[in-house]
Chains A and B, each alone.
Chain A
Amino acid sequence: MSSGLYFTSGPGHVLASLVRLESWRLCTWFDQPATEPRHEFTDRDALDTWLRQFDPARLREVAGALAEDFTQSPRGEDQIVNHLAGRIWLGSITVHGPQFDPYVDELPARPELPSDKKPDAPRPPRLPEDQDKPRIVAVEFLNGSQDKVVASGRQYVNLPAQAKWIDGSHVLNRDRLTHKPRIRVWFDRPGAHGFKVRYLPGAANVAYSGPEKGRNPRFKFQDAQKSYTTGGDGTTILPVDDFFIASAGGDSYVVQATDEQGNTVRSGVIESRRLVYYLPIKMRTLTAAATSLGIFEAEFARHAIDMVPLAAVEMTHLPNIGPENEAALQTAAKAAYKTSQAPAREPYVLAVVFTDHLAVKNPGQSLTYEGITAGPGQANEVLDIMGPGLTNPAVKSRSLWINLVPGEDWFVSATYKPAGGAAIALPKAKCTPVPDDPGTPDNCTSVSVDVSGLPAGTGKITLTVNWVDRMRGGLAFGADNAILICTRAWWRTKSSASQNQTLIHEAGHQVGMVSKGTGKQPDEVKTRYDDAKGHVGNHCHHGIPDGQARYDSSADHALSDCVMYGSGNGHAAFCEHCSPAVTKVDLSAGWTRF
């Protein structure tokens, strides 16, 4: 049995002898012969697995034939599989087989098109003059000029129809911009001929609720059928404002047109996408910034948001960013931003600033320890540093503020007060921080105090220290376009995977997650929680039981399984509740400069 993947649409693309495992092929859904078995997948993982049995190079070739821009930018195997699986899942491609050997045998000829299929030529051949009735022969999405059509392409619905967005890789011409793709109809002869047009949305397109459509008109596509008449040349380009698609990514649309004799034609397929540029800004001398943001890009690509990197720039190194020096950071980052490609990509650009620590200090905290036995020969007292937090009232171990900012020390003062006596100052030299882990000697949550030089007896020690209230993995500057990603936390280098997870989280905030269901947002995410329950902003508690008063305990952290949980949890994917909202979001407004 011959094996192969076969793609019937587009330029007669045939991929012969591609695989040995099965005889299956991919084709656009409207090209499916009725008599041929159709392979349907009910599980996305199974579909991914099935695709991975094929040669990646060949899959890339198929993907390239489906979307002309696909092979023009670097893509990993995962992205290719994800792209194809997404297209199959959304119904714009079907998988046929295994009995298609005749097709293979006909190589290199292209199989006959279905009777109502439009011609591929920019201008279809007209039927002989002696035919008595005008007949519609094609309806197509235009592709850069009124004579070029697209068999399948990506429509970047968030970008406006401006030449500056044609980047030569993702967007090749102005027709692939906006949520209003141009549509042209051809008849087989000149004259004014009536016809009706409607969109056929993909079977798996995301469904917006009534309230969503009420909040944001961009959540609607043109679902009405409309009637038109061609111009004198037997063709017409439909009024561009009449046919629009929704803001969601990953949706597919075909246009269907029917003439007055009942002849029906259909267009190629467009897939809606969103495109966002991002600018890496790295502090000079920073060595731990992630070298690959592939996980971040793939997660958003899975939701039909193409995150496209711009050339990275550098900025001044700041040792730590706390609330008190965010302004200094912004000043330095803005200076770097202005020299980059980012301003030209506004408002669809995010600045991703890679920083050192993002630690917050809680200064001057005093702890008094009762029942201390001091005097010659006494062993050191090891005193735990514990206390409530500034954002979380729980009493926890606190790390001393060590080696985070040059010139800032952990030690403020220490005294020993014997029972019934006056306080005795303890110099810093008598107080030694104790590392929790030899691998991170600066992470100390206890202090060993030498009490052997004190008068014999019992008393109490008061330590006043600066401690770390919390460390942040990342930070989004409100509605503006900057994201901070820390490359070190708790005195350790963060892994590339962890930095990607944080970036997905922060960029998730920038695209409107976790949706509250107000304004122009999608409906509220079922597992959303906000400030009143533990973390500032809108986050997701998927994996944690509903109905809790707070969601920020250690136990909650361990149970959480969505990247939009309020603290870093090792997960890089949007959960089943957040994912549809990410797919739905309207990114047409972009962001303002930070």
Chain B
Amino acid sequence: MSILCRLAFAAAVLAGLASAAAAGAAPPPRKGSIVATEQDAFFAVPLNTREANPCSPQAPDDEWQGILIRVPQVIALRRPGDPVASRPSGPICGLYRIGLNRLASGVPMLLKATDRATGKVYTGIVLDRDRGHEEPPPRPRAIDPARLARMTTSSYFNLDLFEYLALPLRGASYLLHAEYGGLTSNTVVIELREAR
């Protein structure tokens, strides 16, 4: 693992622990600037993937259940050299561990962003879009609720928030959290900053 990755990983662990402690509440924005290395690490994460990376939050302990998310503090809406109309990428690195019976209702994960200036709430459904023609399995097995009750599912996720949230592409600051299986994640602050 490179030094840069190790630094990013350490920061990610600390942020994940801090986020877990504050889960369910909206913590005040952190003072100061996020270190450039961590900021860069977020933008190196392959989005729309499901594997752990140095920016992923870590579960506090083996018994923990919930959702954790981490984001870069700032997303530049336009970088030098970018075409004007290009959409920025907004990485969200997350982890959930949830009892399967909580997901049996089939409600997908939601992302919610609240504009700190206006209070306007943006909600997005976290489901992949596949334009393919689905081929159902030959004999899908019935689900036994009793089995679900003793199972927990866990997954990392790396999302592009702009894929799911129709945030205006202008400077603004948002409080962001995820909801899934009746649980609510920690709340993080993310700023969209217009390039000067």
Interface residues of chain A, those whose CB is within 8 Å of chain B, are 323, 358, 360, 362-371, 384, 386-388, 390-397, 399, 417, 423, 436-437, 440, 443, 445, 470-476, 478, 484, 486, 489-490, 492, 502, 505-506, 531, 535-537, 554, 557, 566-568
Contacts and interface: CB of A to CB of B under 8 A. Distances in A.
A566 B51 contact: no
A475 B131 contact: yes
Contacts of A486: 135
Most A-side CB within 10 Å, residue of B51, B108, B137, B140: B137
Given A390-B128, A395-B148, A472 B107 contact: no
Contact of A471 (B62, B134, B154): B134
Contacts of A366: 97, 153-155
B103 A388 contact: yes
A449 to B, nearest CB: 14
B51 A395 contact: no
Chain B contact residues (Cβ within 8 angstroms of A): what range?
35 or more
9 contacts: A368-B152, A368-B153, A388-B108, A393-B127, A395-B100, A396-B140, A472-B133, A505-B133, A567-B135
Contacts of B151: 367-370, 384, 386
Contacts of B131: 475-476, 478, 536-537
Given A365-B155, A502-B133, 7 more contacts: A358-B135, A386-B143, A390-B127, A390-B128, A473-B135, A478-B131, A535-B134
A536 B50 contact: no
Nearest to A472: B132
B134 A470 contact: yes
Nearest to A568: B135
Interface in B132-148: 132-141, 143-144, 147-148
B107 A489 contact: no
Contacts of A478: 131
The binding surface of chain A is classed by DSSP as: strand
B134 A566 contact: yes
B129 interface: yes
B106 A394 contact: yes
B76 interface: no
A474 B108 CA distance: 25
Nearest to A484: B132
A323 B132 CA distance: 10
Contacts of A399: 137
Nearest to A397: B141
B141 A392 contact: no
Interface in B32-78: 48-52, 62
Contacts of B148: 386, 395
B30 interface: no
9 A-B pairs with least C-beta separation:
A472-B132, A567-B134, A393-B108, A473-B135, A366-B154, A368-B152, A397-B141, A475-B132, A489-B135
Interface in B109-136: 109, 127-136
B150 A391 contact: no
A489 B130 CA distance: 16
A539 B164 CA distance: 21
B104 interface: yes
A486 B152 CA distance: 34
